């Protein structure tokens, strides 16, 4: 099995800002696997929050090159730990497998795909600028707000005023403490906020023990693979599955099933990447409670072919893209 590694820097439409900094490009690694004339591809986004970089991902992938001749999805799970490198490799294997079997991913998984409505993310900014952005995107059914802590109520209020009919979810990006949570919750209830993503640092999940949750809480940075679920049950209502955290489609599907068994709701999210990176996540997102796969909408350029969007509705992808 031939392994080819390439990098791509996709320009973001404007700057995308969260509490940990601003990005103007989405830097990705693309894995291509070739075998007997068939080609499969997968994309990942290294995330500094987890100590990842383009250089480290490339190094990790190079380290397993000699073990790929007869690699299966199970072998790939053992070759690399969960993270961006394994995500790209695992997704490339799935794409290759589809082509070798002459079946779509939907046929392999015995699933009937549906178009999905994705949230659209508003970058962290001043309340005034976030309000202007909300007015521009008020026609979208679901808006996701990046927050930071201080000034968050003003940010959410500005968005709600300018997008009165949108469902709004907020991502605190680990930026709150217990006191701020208790200050925020009554006001967010008044503003009809549907869900809060990762309010506390991932090493402070115990702060949620016994805490009232009038608004759904979703684990993001605290949720990686199936093994992370045990510390989340009873503390969170929902998990955010991102393939760059689970290390690919294989673990993401297992995590989704395990969460549903535990009675948890499921969100499927993404890093900012191209349609190639969104495609396997779109598979996991079928019948999810929240879909947040707006990566291509945030880019000035996208993979070709890519997803077709009707406002915020993602059409089922062509096998020419992936799977």
Per-residue pLDDT tens digits of the chain, which is 323 residues long: 999 999 999 999 987 888 777 889 999 999 999 999 999 999 999 998 899 999 999 999 999 999 999 899 999 999 999 999 999 999 999 999 999 999 999 999 999 999 999 999 999 999 999 999 999 999 999 999 999 888 999 999 999 999 999 999 999 999 999 999 999 999 999 999 999 999 999 999 999 999 999 999 999 999 999 999 999 999 999 999 999 999 999 999 999 999 999 999 999 999 999 999 999 999 999 999 999 999 999 999 999 999 999 999 999 999 999 99
Catalytic residue from among 146, 231, 245, 265: 146
Does residue 245 have an active-site annotation? no
* 15, 26, 317 from 194: Cα distances, Å: 26, 28, 28
Q: Can you read off the two tokens belonging to residue 157?
A: 């209020």
User: CB–CB of 45/247 below 8 Å?
Assistant: no
> 142-146 and 167-171: which strand pairing?
parallel
DSSP state of 299: B
Number of alpha helices (DSSP H) and beta strands (DSSP E) in the chain: 10, 14
Q: What is the rounded CA–CA span in Å between residue 323 and residue 318?
A: 8
* Residue 217, helix vs strand vs coil: strand
Closest CA to 217 of 238, 241, 191: 238
What are the start-end ranges of the E strands in 46-118? 116-117
Q: Is 2 among the residues known to form the active site?
A: no
Complete domains list, the chain, with CATH = 2-104 (3.30.390.10), 116-314 (3.20.20.120)
Tokens of 17: 């800002």
Is the separation of the CB atoms in 46 and 31 below 8 Å?
no
Element (H, E) at 238: strand 238-241
Pick the catalytic residue: 23, 204, 242, 256? 242
């Amino acid at each position: 099995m031939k392994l080819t590694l390439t990098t791509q820097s996709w320009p973001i439409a404007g700057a995308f800002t969260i509490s940990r900094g601003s990005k103007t490009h989405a830097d990705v690694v693309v894995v291509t696997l070739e075998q007997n004339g068939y080609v499969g591809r997968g994309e990942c986004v290294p995330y500094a929050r987890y100590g990842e970089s383009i250089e480290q991902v490339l190094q990790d992938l190079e380290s397993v090159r000699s073990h790929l001749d007869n690699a299966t999805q199970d072998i790939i799970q053992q070759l690399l730990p969960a993270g961006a490198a394994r995500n790209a490799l695992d997704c490339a294997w799935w794409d290759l497998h589809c082509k070798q079997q002459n079946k779509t991913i939907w046929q392999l998984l015995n699933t009937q795909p549906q178009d999905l409505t994705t949230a659209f993310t508003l970058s962290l900014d001043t309340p005034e600028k976030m309000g202007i952005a909300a007015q521009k995107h008020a026609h979208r059914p679901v808006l996701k707000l990046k927050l930071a802590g201080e000034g968050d109520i003003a940010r959410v209020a500005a968005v709600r005023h300018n997008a009165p009919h949108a469902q709004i979810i907020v991502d605190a990006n680990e930026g709150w403490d217990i006191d701020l949570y208790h200050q925020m919750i009554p006001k967010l209830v008044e503003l009809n906020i549907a869900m809060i993503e990762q309010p506390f640092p991932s090493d402070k999940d115990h702060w949620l023990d016994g805490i009232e949750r009038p608004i759904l809480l979703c684990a993001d940075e605290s949720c990686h693979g199936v093994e992370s679920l045990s510390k989340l049950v009873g503390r969170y209502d929902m998990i955010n599955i991102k393939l760059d955290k689970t290390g690919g489609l294989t673990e993401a599907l297992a995590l989704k099933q395990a969460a549903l068994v535990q009675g948890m709701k499921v969100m499927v999210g993404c890093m900012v990447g191209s349609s190639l990176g969104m495609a396997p996540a779109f598979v996991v997102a079928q019948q999810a409670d929240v879909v947040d796969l707006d990566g291509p909408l945030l880019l000035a350029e996208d993979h070709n072919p890519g997803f077709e969007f009707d406002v915020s509705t993602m059409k089922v992808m062509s096998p020419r893209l992936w799977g």
